[in-house]
Copies of this chain bind each other. A is one copy, B any other.
Amino acid sequence: MRKLERLLLKMKDTTELMIDLAYSALLYDNKAIAKEVHRLEDLIDRLNMQIQQEAVERTAKEHPEAALFILRLSNSLEIIGDAALQIADITLRGMRPHPIFQESVKAADVSIARIYIPPRSPIVNKTLGELRLASETGMWIIAIRRKKRWIFGPDEFTTIKGGDILIGRGPEEGVAALRNAVLRGIG
């Protein structure tokens, strides 16, 4: 059952990241982010197959209700992943983000913002785990642009570097809180 739990957890986290990244790809007209959504969709497909196998071959025998529950849920999660992929594909097909959409994302309950980290920011060389940006500012970091490369779905061990550009999602007032943290540090 542990394996099933781990797979399901990974699937849930991945679909949420995919939706956030898909919106970001549209908002910033960014094909690199859209391609990451594609890569994650492959991961979702693999996870879904593993979950099906695990549920049918192991769990179904002793816990048929649990197996059915998990299969239904993972099926729905795969659909969410597909929808995120469709959103990312708008960017990959070369359609430019429309101001209507950009305004909508900015005014939405959950906003997406890009924040530059100056080399002398007090949060430089700290990990996301140490900083607890998500609970301190409400902003969830979904991607980091570092020089020419991207870090997608950074975790608690990811260190912030000077010159990074963070892409975060959170409430509108979280954007100001994050900018403040970048300038003055946390707390």
Do residues B75 and A170 form an inter-chain contact, with CB atoms below 8 A? no
Judge if A107 is at the interface, Cβ distance under 8 Å: yes
Copies per assembly: 2
Smallest Cβ-Cβ distance to A129: which chain B residue: B173
Which residue from B97, B100, B132 sits with its C-beta under 8 Å from A5?
Answer: B100
Judge if A56 is at the interface, Cβ distance under 8 Å: no
Judge if A8 is at the interface, Cβ distance under 8 Å: yes
Do residues B105 and A173 form an inter-chain contact, with CB atoms below 8 A? no
Contacts of A63 in B (CB 8 A): 98
Q: A79-B79, A100-B1 are in contact. Are A135 and B90 (CB under 8 A)?
A: no
Contacts of A166 in B (CB 8 A): none
Smallest Cβ-Cβ distance to A136: which chain B residue: B138
Shortest 3 CB-CB distances between A and B: which pairs?
Answer: A135-B138, A134-B171, A79-B83
Would you mind naming 27 contact pairs between A and B with Cβ atoms under 8 Å apart? A5-B104, A5-B107, A12-B23, A16-B110, A17-B109, A19-B80, A63-B98, A68-B95, A69-B90, A70-B98, A70-B100, A72-B86, A73-B87, A73-B101, A75-B86, A76-B84, A76-B86, A77-B83, A80-B80, A134-B170, A134-B171, A135-B138, A135-B139, A135-B170, A135-B173, A135-B174, A140-B171
